[in-house]
Amino acid sequence: MMSPDTIKQLFGNYIADFLPAPAGHVIHDKMVAGQVTDDTQQTMLIADSIIENEEIDPEDIARRLIQWGEDVNAFGSMAVGPSSLRALYAIRSGKSVYESGSVGDTNGAVMRIGAVGIYGKGDLERTVDAVEKACLPTHNTNIAIAGASAVAMAIGCGINGETDVDEIINKAIHAAELGMSRGNIWYGASIIERTRLALQIVSKNSTKAKIMQELYNIIGAGVQVTETVPTCLAIIKMANGDVVEAIQIAVNLGGDCDTIAAITGSICGAISGIDRIPEAWIELLEKVNPYDFNNYTDKLIRAIYK
């Protein structure tokens, strides 16, 4: 939640490693280097739901999101995005999960879609069907489902061993097109057309810094899914699927950095594989977070790949 200029003023020219949150940050004050944010927390709770149910259960996901929100006092802070917060309040008040997410148009669903992408196995119909169910409680709109479908499809392709970034992005766009036929029809810029514009910006014969500035200024790095997803797909192209470079670009871009880094990291992590992730990063993440990531991997494989 900072501009590129503010990031440079606080941290120097380019952030390349994990750092503690700056004192007094509006959301992440006192968080230590490597500590995960709400994006990862919510991704893991959906993974828990898939592991336990061996399917995508919207009502179970809603229950887990509400419990998570209460556990971390998210309802009294800015830790929950506007669409999720509105929908979870509605569910707690008795509204059905089939109604609660009818106007969700921000990036809350796409930021936590990682395990659903694994569940989709890179299959177009299976992926979009699963994404639609996962989005239902908080982001049941065509633009949110389209954006989450694009990201989930890209993750599934990477898990399948695909490494051609252009082909993966093309498949992500096809998933977004199918996703636009799902959910409540809502207004917003076209994720597909904005992705094409973002890719044109990346293809310019220019410096990385100038391309990043254009993505920030023209496509955007805010919480709207119509900004987040095109920018993420453009970063994947910039980094050619390399997980470290993609995360670093996302972090330095400005805006909703943790979400954009979480999304680009999940896609490029699937493409690059664990061997490309620095061992020091893995050790730090395991040290400061309460997750056994290897255990999650084993459980997801058993739940999905039978």
184-225 pLDDT per residue, tens: 999 999 999 999 999 999 999 999 999 999 999 999 999 999
How much is the average pLDDT of 18-25?
A: 91
CB 77, CB 26: distance < 8 Å: no
Q: Indicate the range of 62-66, 90-94, 135-139, 293-297 predicted with least confidence.
A: 90-94
% of the chain residues with pLDDT over 90: 84
Rounded Cα gap, residues 61 and 251, in angstroms: 28
Residue 74 has pLDDT above 80, yes or no: no
pTM for the structure as a whole: 0.95
Count of beta carbons in the 10 Å neighbourhood of residue 57:
18
* The pLDDT value given to residue 174: 98
Q: Strand pairing partners for 106?
A: 224
Phi/psi at 231 (5° precision): -65, -40
Query: For position 262, which CATH number holds?
Result: 1.10.4080.10
Rounded Cα gap, residues 22 and 29, in angstroms: 7
* The pLDDT value given to residue 79: 65
Average model confidence (pLDDT) across the chain? 94
Range of the domain at 241: 4-304
Residue 165 CA, distance from chain mean position = 18
* The pLDDT value given to residue 27: 84
Per-residue pLDDT band for 260 (boundaries 50, 70, 90) equals very high
* The pLDDT value given to residue 82: 80
* The pLDDT value given to residue 88: 82
Domain total of the chain: 1
Residue 81 or residue 173, greater confidence: 173
Rounded Cα gap, residues 265 and 114, in angstroms: 10
Per-residue pLDDT band for 69 (boundaries 50, 70, 90) equals confident
Residue 249 CA, distance from chain mean position = 15
